[in-house]
Structure 1
Amino acid sequence: MISIRQLTKHYGPNPVLRGIDLEVAAGEFVVVLGQSGAGKSTLLRCINRLVQADSGTLSVAGIDALACRDTSVLRRQAAMIFQHHNVVPRLSVLKNVLTGCLGAVSTLTSIMQLFRREDVALAMQCLERVELAHKARERTDSLSGGQMQRVGIARALAQRPKVILADEPVASLDPKTARLVLQYLRDATRELGITVLCNLHQVDYAREFGDRIVGLANGKLVYDGSACSMTEDDLQRIYPGQTTAPQGATARADELITPVAQVRAQA
C-alpha cells in the first residue's frame, strides 16, 4: 500500500530524512516514534505531498506520489488527520465531515455546498463509527477537544481513502481521551481495511495500538518491528540521549487501560 525507497528531504542545508526505506502493507496500523525533529511529520507530509521530497521513490495505493501532477488524486487516497483538529468551528459537525467528500464532487458543488444525499448518508455513517451522530447538527466549536478529533477521524473516513496519515493526533489530549480517540481510529480503519501511519510520542500508546512500530532518529530509520518485540535497547536508538522514553502517563500501559465504555462520555 505504501512503498518508500531511499527517501530524502532537506530544509535548506539541514537533512531531515536520510534515505528512508519503508513498506507498509494494506490494513496495517503502523506507529512512527521519534524525538521532536526526528523527521516524523516530514515523512507523513512527503507521503501526501504537503511537502515535496528531494529524492527517492514513493508509491501510495499504486500512485507515484513524487511524480503525480494532480495532488488531489493522491490526497483522496491518503487522508490526513492533524494534531490541532483542523475543523471549521462555526460549521456544524456534519458539514465538517462532509468536507471530506469535496474531492469527489464538482467545483460548483463544493462552492455551493450542495451535497448529494449519498454523501450525507456516508458522513452520518462515519459519525456513527466515532459515536458522534447525535452531535451532527451542532456547531463544532461546542465540542470538547477529544470530540473534535473524532470529527477529524470521521472526515478522513468520509474521503473513502486507502491510507490515513495521522500526525500526532492525540498530542493535546489527556490520557483517557487519547486512548479513546486511538481506539476509534484503530477500530474504524481495521473494519474498513484502511492502512494507517500514525505519528506518536507516547511509547505506551504505540505498544497498545500499533500492529508495528517504526522508529526514526536524526532522519534515519533505526527500528522497524512488531509492537511487542521492541526492547529498551531499541528505545535508546529511537530516543538517543534520553534516559527514559516518553510515555502517555506515569504508569505502565497495561495498568492504565480503561474500558472504552467508561470514558466515552468524558471525551
Structure 2
Amino acid sequence: MISIRNLKKSYGSNHVLHGIDLDVRAGEFVVMLGLSGAGKSTLLRCMNGLVKPDSGSLTVGGIDICRKHSRRELAQQAAMVFQHHNLVPRLSVRKNVLTGRLGQLGTLASIAQFFRASDLQLADACLQRVGLLHKADARTDALSGGQMQRVGIARALAQSPKVILADEPVASLDPKTATSVLQYLREATRELGIAVVCNLHQVEYAREFGDRVVGLSQGRMVFDGGPDELDDAALQAIYHQPTEAAVSSMHAAEQGGRWLKPLAATAGAM
C-alpha cells in the first residue's frame, strides 16, 4: 500500500529527511515515533501530497506521489485523520462524514453535495464502526473532543481509502479517551485491510496499538521493529536527548517485552 525508497527532503540548507526506506502493507498499523523536528510530520506530508520530496520514490495506494497527480486521485486512495479534527462544527455528524465522499463524486454533484443513497448508507456504516450512529443527526459542535475525533475517523473511512495517515490524532485527548479512539481506528482498519501510518509521541500507545514501530531521529530512520522490541537502546536512538518526554517514554517501554537493537546499532555493527 505504501512504498518509499531513498526519500529525501530539504528546506534550503536544512536537511529534514535523509534517504527514508519504508514499506507498509494492507491492514498494517505502523506507528511513527520521534522528537519534535525528527521529520515525522514532513514524511507524513510527503505521503499525503502536501510536500514534494526532493528525490527518491514514494507510492501511496498505487499513486506515484513524485509524479503529477490530482488531489482527487490521491483522495481516492489516501485519507487523513487530523490532530484538531478539521470538522465543520455547524454541520451534523452525518454530513461531516459525508464530506469524505466528495472526492468520489463528479464535479457538479460535489459542488451541489448531491449524495447517493449508497453514500448515505456508507456514512452510517462508518459511524456504526466508531460507535456514533446514534449521534448521526446531532450538530458536531455538541460532541466531546473524543467523539469529534471518532467522527474524523468515520469521515476517513467513508473515503474507502487504501491508506489512512494520522498525524497526532490523540494529542489533545485524555488517556482514557485516547485509548478508545486508537482502538476504533485500529479495529476498523484491520477489518477493512487499510494500511495506517500514525504519528504519535506516546511510546505506551505505540506498544499497545502498533503492529510495527518506526523511529525517526534527525530525519533518519533509526528503528523499525515490533512494539515489544522497543528497548532502552532503541529509545535512546529515537529520543537522543534526555528530555522529560524521552525519560517518560523509556519508563513506559521498560515494563516488559523482548528487546531488539535499533537500526543505528545494527548499522554500526555491519
RMSD across aligned positions (CA): 1.8
Distance 1:208 1:97 in 2: 27
Alignment partner of 2:169: what SS?
A: coil
Asked if structure 2 preserves the Cα contact closer than 8 Å seen for 1:216 and 1:222, the reply is: yes
Runs of 4+ off more than 2 Å: 243-248, 250-254
Change (3 A) 1:75 1:253: farther
1:28-177 residue pairs with structure 2 within 5 A? 28-177=28-177
Report the CA distance between 1:110 and its aligned residue.
1.5
**What amino acid is the match of 2:89?**
P
Q: Which consecutive unaligned segments of at least 5 residues does structure 2 have?
A: 256-270
Distance 1:210 1:131 in 2: 22
Report the CA distance between 1:113 and its aligned residue.
1.5
Q: Percent identity?
A: 67
Normalised by the length of structure 2, the TM-score is: 0.90
Q: Which consecutive unaligned segments of at least 5 residues does structure 1 have?
A: 255-267
**What amino acid is the match of 1:83?**
Q
Report the CA distance between 1:107 and its aligned residue.
1.7
Distance 2:248 2:113 in 1: 42
Q: How many residues matched?
A: 254
**What amino acid is the match of 1:167?**
D
Deviations, residues 150-206 of structure 1 (Å, cap 9, x unaligned): 000000000000000000000000000000000000000011111100000000000
Deviations, residues 13-68 of structure 1 (Å, cap 9, x unaligned): 21111111111111110000000011111111101201111111001122211103
Alignment partner of 2:197: what SS?
A: strand
Normalised by the length of structure 1, the TM-score is: 0.91
**What amino acid is the match of 2:155?**
R
Asked if structure 1 preserves the Cα contact closer than 8 Å seen for 2:27 and 2:193, the reply is: yes
2:237 aligned partner: 237
1:261 aligned partner: none
Asked if structure 1 preserves the Cα contact closer than 8 Å seen for 2:75 and 2:159, the reply is: no
Report the CA distance between 1:133 and its aligned residue.
0.5
Report the CA distance between 1:71 and its aligned residue.
2.9
**What amino acid is the match of 2:210?**
G
Asked if structure 1 preserves the Cα contact closer than 8 Å seen for 2:32 and 2:214, the reply is: yes
Report the CA distance between 1:243 and its aligned residue.
5.2
